Amino acid sequence: MKLTYSLLVLFAFWAFPQHCLSQDCKAVFKGRVTDFHDGHPLENSLVKIYNTDKVTVSDIDGYFSISGICPGTYEVEVTHDLCTPQFITVEITRTTTRQFTLEHHLEELKEVVVEGSRHHTVTSSATEQILQTETIDKFSAASMGDALKQISGVSSLNTGSAIVKPVIQGLHSSRIITMNNGVRLQDQEWGMEHAPNLDLNTAGSLAVIKGAAALQYGGDAVGGVIIAEPQKISVKDTLYGKTILSGATNGWGGALISSLTKSYKTGWYWQAQGTLKRFGDSETPDYSLTNTGYSQQAFSARAGLNKFTYGFEAYYSFYRSEIGILRSSHIGSQRDLLQAINNRQPLVIEDFSYDINAPKQQVTHHLAKINFFKRFEQLGKWTLQYNFQQNNRQEYDLRKGALKGVPSMDMRLTTHTLNSGFQFDAHSGRTINVGVLLSGQHNVPDPATGVRRLIPDYERYDAGVYASIKQSINESLIFDAGIRYDFNRMDAEKFYKKDRWESQGYDRDFSNIITEDFGDQWLTHPVFDYHNISATAGIQYQLGNNTLRLNYALANRPPNPAELFSDGLHHSAAAIELGDLRIDRETSHKISASYELKTQKVSLSLAPYLNTIDNYILLEPSGSELNIRGAFPVWRYKQVDALFAGVDFDFHYDISPHWSFDHKFAYVHAKDRDRDRPLIAIPPANTSNAITFVKPEWRQLTLSLRSDYFFKQNEFPDNNFTISIIEDGAYVDRVADISTPPDAYHLLGFDASATFPLRKKSEITLGLTLNNLLNTQYRDYLNRLRFFSDDLGRNVQLSIKVNY
């Protein structure tokens, strides 16, 4: 009986196979594939059911359908060009429908190659230029300011060789916002000799936005914004790192930089990076610059999760530097000051040393942040971020007795910031950004210095809101605009000597802020509120190889603490600085344009600009003063109406497959409209040319010869002052010439590099850089120590970079 039943079943399968199979495998799997951001259909998306031969693609409306499936549970993969694949487990019975949304904006997931980094432009209409990883690695032993000078229109304000402050189209200090991994740097940047406390080697790219068009970062960027972005980390299983070892002959020192990155395809990642630098006294072509050594230690670490629709990152960075100030800049008498300014050599020249003695500055900066993002389907991306910063600045003077080794200035600046933003990008061709920021800051000088405080105790509170839009009008035309409101409150407590109080005229204008009488001093409580509106609007028009940009930006910048309250000797600047409580906010109206041409062999950019700044705050010399610490020039903060006009030009030409030529030129004209005279400390016209040979077949051999020419600054104000000194037993007046700029100068440089394989996926790059090849003697107009010494002589630098 059992045998008969079995034979009947086998006969049924043999006789009616199509009927049995078709009866069990009639299930249908269908659905639609759309873009996560704006809901648009994604045509030609591949839909594959694993462990079957079922595969199809979506139609022009994003729909797909697969039939003839046996009921069951399957792994389904959906992919589309430039999208991250999506895998899901689906139980298919009869007719099963699923909706798939793919991330079609690749940059949002930070999926980039490990070897480089990409930077996505912040604005469409403003002038923006970028330095990539290769250039940053070349300047790994130098400063951020040195690297940024590779961009046309960017120069530097130096105090010696180690303190390098970026200048964008003639503007610097508080007029420039520096962003470090999405955090606005708060590091007492007020002084002309306060360089940004940021390790260049933490950046995967450096971008410069020339002007106040990037309102999400702040409304007070009268000069521009510097954006240091870390290297983007790919969402895949990988482990890689980089180590750079370099040494230099000028200063006989070097740097060691190393980083390691680990990422997972689950979205988790971590990265750590460290920097060590140590240099001794720098040298001019003729003599050593005593007490100009410096050291730097920096460390940063970040870790986070980057999922499809959400993620977070925690970041911490530590930065510490110790920088010697040229010994000859600190003078003992009025006669010595006059002699130092008018002499061609420093008054103190000692043998080379690694010692860093007073006068010097020590700075320590801590930055910690945590941010979170969430993407909402067919709407956009929300971000929330909190960051903490603490900056401790110590400046050491030449002191004796019990105060020897005690800093003359010791300030601790603590800042807490909370900001949130939302990017609406669901509408094709349109992006809207809105955001809010709250910040609190507290500055506390240490009273143990035994010196009157240059900058007082103060609390500062900031609140801001902004909105911006970028709209594609058609394939060729993009329009962008934005508006921002900021409220700033400065609440300080400050002592004023009564004689200084009266000489400044404060007894007439600010008698209501006096809170207590301390004999020869007043204790005051100044409180200032500022309401600021900033705005921008512009267009980008692209036709073939040609791109035209036009932008208008309105910016308002409230005065910083140094401009308001400075009152005494600024030790690292070797100058007495005096602020003014009457100083009001600056208002900038800037019109900028640019024309770009890019062909197979040629690329060029021409970028003129016009910037009128009402109530422009400047620091200019007004004489000298002798106190118990020596003789120092006196610099005062003033306000005038100013005009800045200039042009930046870049040109690149591929002469042949292996040879190329690069040229850049920058000129800025700056005028004090009130007094009809030039402004002080404006960079002279300068031009740079380089011819480069590249042969990839020869171990990526690269050779480059550079020529940099700096014209003499013929537009300068007469700020000379008279010093009374004793000659032959009688006082006589002598003129201290601190106005006349130095002569024009020309520097040659040479770069060479080659790359060799080590092991699988590892390589080593050897580099040679020669600066001031001919050992030219010169003085830079924007070096504040040019009154006391020449600038740097020849420097030979060797570097070894290992990628692994």
**183-184 and 659-672 strand pairing:** unpaired
Quote the CA–CA distance of 127 and 547 in Å, as a whole number. Answer: 12
Cα–Cα distance between 173 and 782 in angstroms, integer?
14
- What are the residues whose beta carbons fall under 8 Å from the beta carbon of 552, sequence distance 6 or more? 536, 537, 538, 589, 590, 591
Report the CATH number that the domain containing residue 69 is assigned in CATH. Answer: 2.60.40.1120
d(CA 162, CA 197): 12
> In this structure, is residue 216 part of a structural domain?
no
Instruction: Give the per-residue pLDDT at 627.
Output: 65
Asked if 94 and 239 sit in the same domain, the reply is no
What residues have CB less than 8 Å from 330, skipping those under 6 apart?
359, 397, 398, 574, 630
Pairing outcome for strands 27-35 and 95-102 = parallel
The DSSP 8-state label assigned to residue 778 in this structure reads: -
Residue 121 belongs to some domain of the structure: no
Q: Are the C-beta atoms of 706 and 750 separated by less than 8 Å?
A: yes
At 757, list the tokens: 């394989």
Output the pLDDT for position 640: 97
Same domain membership, residue 232 and residue 100: no
SS3 405: coil
Say how many C-beta atoms besides its own lie within 10 A of residue 505's C-beta.
12
The helix/strand/coil state of 390 is strand
Last residue of a domain, one of 104, 122, 151: 104
DSSP string, 414-463: EEEEEEEEEEE--STTEEEEEEEEEEEEEEEE-GGG-S--SS-EEEEEEE
**Which helix (H) or strand (E) element contains residue 342?**
helix 334-342
Token pair belonging to 404: 């020897």
* Same domain as 239, residue 95: no
d(CA 804, CA 115): 10
Estimate the share of the chain in helix, then strand, then coil, as percent rounded to the nearest 5: 10, 55, 35
Q: 183 and 196 in contact (C-beta within 8 Å)?
A: no
User: Taking the CA atoms of the chain, what radius of gyration do you get in angstroms?
Assistant: 31
- Residue 408 in any domain: the answer is yes
706 shares its domain with 570: yes
**Residue 679 placed within a domain:** yes
The closest of 271, 268, 200 to 242, measured between CA atoms, is 271
* Cα(162)–Cα(298) distance, integer angstroms: 16
Distance separating alpha carbons of residues 83 and 77, to the nearest angstrom:
12
Residue 609 within any structural domain of the chain: yes
Number of Cα atoms under 13 Å in the Cβ half of residue 96: 19
Nearest to 452 by CA among 572, 574, 567, 330: 567
| 146 contact partners, CB below 8 Å, separation of at least 6 | 139, 156, 164
| Phi, psi torsion values for 216, nearest 5 degrees | -65, -20
Report the amino acid identity of residue 278: R
Q: How far apart are CA 265 and CA 269, in angstroms?
A: 9
Q: Please report whether residue 437 resides in a domain.
A: yes
Q: How many CB atoms lie within 10 A of CB 674?
A: 12
Element (H, E) at 283: none
Q: What is the pLDDT of residues 332-369, one digit of tens each?
A: 666 777 777 777 788 899 999 999 998 899 999 999 99
Query: Cβ distance 753 to 696 under 8 Å?
Result: no
**Which pLDDT belongs to residue 228?**
94
Q: Are residues 361 and 574 in contact, defined by beta-carbon separation less than 8 angstroms?
A: no
Last residue of a domain, one of 104, 137, 153: 104
- What is each CA distance from 437 to 370, 387, 417, 607, in whole angstroms? 15, 11, 7, 32
User: How is residue 354 annotated by DSSP?
Assistant: -
Tell me the pairing of strands 224-229 and 176-180. parallel
Query: To which residue do tokens 């410096």 refer?
Result: 294
Q: How far apart are alpha carbons 215 and 552 in whole angstroms?
A: 12
User: CA 372, CA 387: separation in Å to the nearest integer?
Assistant: 12
Total count of domains within the chain: 2
Q: Would residue 472 count as lying in a domain?
A: yes
- Does one domain contain both 100 and 234? no
How many helices (H) and strands (E) would you count in the chain?
8, 43
Overall pTM > 0.95: no
Q: How far apart are CA 63 and CA 740, in angstroms?
A: 74
Q: What is the mean pLDDT of each run of 10 residues along the chain (804 residues)?
A: 42 41 75 81 89 89 91 88 76 88 57 39 82 90 92 91 92 94 90 86 92 90 94 90 97 97 94 97 96 96 92 97 89 71 84 94 97 91 97 88 85 97 87 96 88 87 96 92 97 92 92 94 96 96 94 96 84 74 96 95 96 95 69 84 98 97 98 96 97 96 98 93 77 83 97 92 94 97 90 97 95
Which domain, by its residues, includes 48? 2-104
Q: Which amino acid is at 466?
A: Y
Q: What is the pLDDT of residue 392?
A: 96
**DSSP state, residue 522:** E
pLDDT at 542: 92
Residues whose CB is less than 8 angstroms from the CB of residue 607 and which lie 6 or more positions away in sequence, other chains included:
127, 152, 153, 210, 592, 593, 594, 595, 647, 648, 649
Cβ-based neighbours of 501, under 8 Å, separated by 6 or more:
507, 522
Spell out the residues 6+ positions from residue 628 whose beta carbon is closer than 8 angstroms to its own.
none
547 touches 444 (CB < 8 A): no
Residue indicated by tokens 């500022």: 530
DSSP-assigned states of every residue in 562-592: HHHH-EEEEGGGTEEEE--TT---EEEEEEE
Decide which of 72, 89, 104 is a domain's last residue. 104
CA 203 from chain centre, in angstroms, equals: 9
Q: Per the structure block, which two tokens stand in for 760? A: 């699988």
Does the residue 163 lie in any domain? no
SS3 507: helix
Q: How many residues does the chain have?
A: 804
126 close to 538: Cβ distance less than 8 angstroms: yes
Give the 3-state secondary structure of 180-204: ECCEECCCCCCCCCCCCCCCHHHCC
For residue 409, what is the domain's CATH number? 2.40.170.20
Give the list of residues 6+ apart from residue 268 with CB closer than 8 angstroms, or none: 303, 304, 305
Kindly state the greatest CA–CA separation across the chain.
142
User: What's 84-126 look like in SS3?
Assistant: CCEEEEEEECCEEEEEEEECCCHHHHCCCCCCCCCCCCCCCCC
Handedness of CA 151, 153, 154, 157 (dihedral sign): positive
